[in-house]
């Protein structure tokens, strides 16, 4: 009995906390009215949670009776989720080799080696650039998704996370295995042992590190980009057009710059296509989220200063 009574108030607190969290999905005015109704009618915490969840489910289900959420799901969430999973796994795989070289083969005596100080900064810069590019791709994907989601942004965010999980655990590994078979068939690669086998023999680099990279450099930036994308409707039309153009160019760059994706388009048959100034410019455009966030932060601080004068 003592155990039950001590669990009671805790369960009540937990239920009311869940009522608070789930009611945030509702419109502010409806949330206040519903919370007030629950207080006035003296509902228990579990009844209140049931009522609020029922309303939230009805509201979200009503949104999905229109065609727009389905179009954003099939046209954006699913393809972006898969693309980001494949790109993320490739980035994690490439950076694993460098990280393994230094982390698993570290010797303090290397610090006295001039060659170390020549190669190490270059490696850090290369890995940092790859991670920054992946983060910008992810942020841009979230930005595009957020700008078309509006009322269903939370649901789309949850669906994107689900798609990324599916992609990370199943989609990307299967796709990359198929891609490797394609390379052997198309180019007749000899069956030599992979020189990176010692890296991926370790479970950490084979299974856990790709998930860490996806969580830090894909999920986080995507959700952040989604929140920023919702605000884009308030911007002037010209600025919105510029941002959308940059976003589409960034997503195109993500497809073009990943051999796992563009080789299927037979672009390898046109040598020199990837060496032009156009590709270099496209690479610069990829980093537009950094400029956007800096400009937004400066703008907000500037507006805050003016308001305080």
Partner 1 sequence: MLGEFEYLMLTAATRLGEDAYGAAIRQEIEDATRHRCSIGALYTTLDRLEAKGFIKTRMGDPTPQRGGRPKRMVRITAKGIQAARDFYAAVTRVSRGVSWEANRAAVR
Contacting partner 1 (CB under 8 A), which of 7, 11, 17, 39? Answer: 39
Q: Tell me if 254 contacts partner 1 by CB under 8 A.
A: no
- Would you tell me the crossing angle of helices 237-256 and 277-286 to the nearest 10 degrees? 120
- Tell whether residue 21 is a contact of partner 1 (CB under 8 A): no
Single residue of 16, 18, 51, 82 touching partner 1 by CB under 8 A: 51
The residue (of 64 and 189) whose beta carbon lies closer to partner 1 is 64
- For partner 1, how many residues bind (rule: CB under 8 A)? 21
Residue 73 binds partner 1 (CB under 8 A): no
User: Does residue 291 interact with partner 1 by CB under 8 A?
Assistant: no
For position 32 contacting partner 1 by CB under 8 A, the verdict is yes
Nearer to partner 1, 48 or 251 (CB): 48
Residue from 19, 38, 153, 218 binding partner 1 (CB under 8 A): 38
Contact window for partner 1 (CB under 8 A) among 58-66, 145-153, 171-179, 214-222 = 58-66
The distance of closest approach from Cβ of residue 49 to partner 1 in the complex, given in angstroms and rounded to an integer, is 11
Estimate the crossing angle of helix 45-63 against helix 2-23, to 10 degrees.
30
Kindly tell me which residue out of 30, 122, 207, 231 binds partner 1, with binding defined by CB under 8 A: 30
Q: Does 293 bind partner 1 (CB under 8 A)?
A: no
Q: Is 295 in the site for partner 1 (CB under 8 A)?
A: no
- Per rule CB under 8 A, is residue 20 in the interface with partner 1? no
Q: Is 65 in the site for partner 1 (CB under 8 A)?
A: no
Per CB under 8 A, the list member of 11, 21, 57, 103 interacting with partner 1 is 57
Angle 114-149/78-103 helices, nearest 10 degrees? 160
Span near partner 1 by CB under 8 A; candidates 28-36, 84-92, 116-124, 271-279: 28-36
Closest C-alpha to 139, from 209, 69, 228, 232: 228
Task: Choose the binding region for partner 1 from 4-12, 46-54, 131-139, 207-215 (rule: CB under 8 A).
Answer: 46-54
Q: Phi and psi dihedrals of 236, rounded to 5?
A: -70, 150
Token pair of 202, please? 């370790």
Q: Does 122 help bind partner 1 (rule: CB under 8 A)?
A: no
Q: Of 59, 154, 240, 268, which one interacts with partner 1 (CB under 8 A)?
A: 59
Q: What is the dihedral of CA 125, 131, 132, 137, to 10 degrees?
A: 150
Among 2, 3, 29, 306, binds partner 1 (CB under 8 A): 29
Residue 159 binds partner 1, judged by CB under 8 A: no
CA distance 248 to 238: 15
Which of 3, 10, 40, 269 is the binder for partner 1 (CB under 8 A)? Answer: 40
Quick one: which of 6, 7, 41, 291 contacts partner 1 (CB under 8 A)? 41
Q: What are the residues binding partner 1 (CB under 8 A)?
A: 29-30, 32-41, 51-52, 54-59, 62
């Amino acid at each position: 009995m003592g155990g039950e009574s001590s669990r009671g108030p805790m369960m009540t607190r937990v239920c009311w906390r869940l009522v608070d969290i789930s009611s945030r999905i509702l419109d502010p005015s409806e949330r206040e009215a519903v919370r007030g109704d629950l207080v006035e009618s003296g509902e228990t915490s579990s009844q209140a949670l049931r009522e609020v969840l029922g309303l939230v489910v009805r509201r979200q289900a009503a949104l999905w009776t229109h065609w727009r959420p389905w179009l954003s799901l099939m046209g954006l969430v699913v393809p972006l989720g898969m693309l980001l999973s494949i790109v993320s796994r490739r980035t994690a795989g490439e950076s694993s080799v460098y990280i393994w070289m230094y982390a698993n083969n570290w010797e303090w005596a290397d610090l006295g080696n001039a060659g170390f100080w020549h190669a190490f900064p270059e490696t850090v810069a290369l890995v940092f650039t790859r991670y920054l590019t992946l983060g910008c791709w992810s942020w841009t994907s979230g930005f595009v998704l957020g700008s078309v989601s509006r009322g269903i942004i939370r649901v789309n965010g949850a669906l994107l996370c689900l798609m990324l999980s599916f992609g990370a655990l199943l989609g990307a590994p299967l796709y990359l295995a198929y891609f490797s078979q394609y390379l052997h068939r198309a180019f007749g690669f000899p069956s030599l042992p992979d020189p990176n086998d010692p890296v991926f023999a370790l479970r950490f680099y084979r299974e856990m590190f790709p998930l860490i990279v996806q969580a830090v450099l894909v999920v986080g930036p995507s959700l952040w980009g989604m929140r920023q994308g919702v605000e884009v409707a308030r911007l002037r039309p010209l600025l919105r057009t510029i941002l959308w153009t940059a976003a589409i160019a960034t997503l195109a760059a993500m497809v073009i710059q990943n051999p796992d994706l563009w080789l299927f388009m037979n672009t390898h048959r046109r040598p020199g296509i990837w060496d032009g100034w156009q590709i270099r410019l496209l690479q610069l455009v990829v980093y537009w989220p950094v400029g956007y966030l800096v400009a937004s932060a400066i703008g907000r601080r500037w507006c805050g200063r003016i308001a305080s004068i």
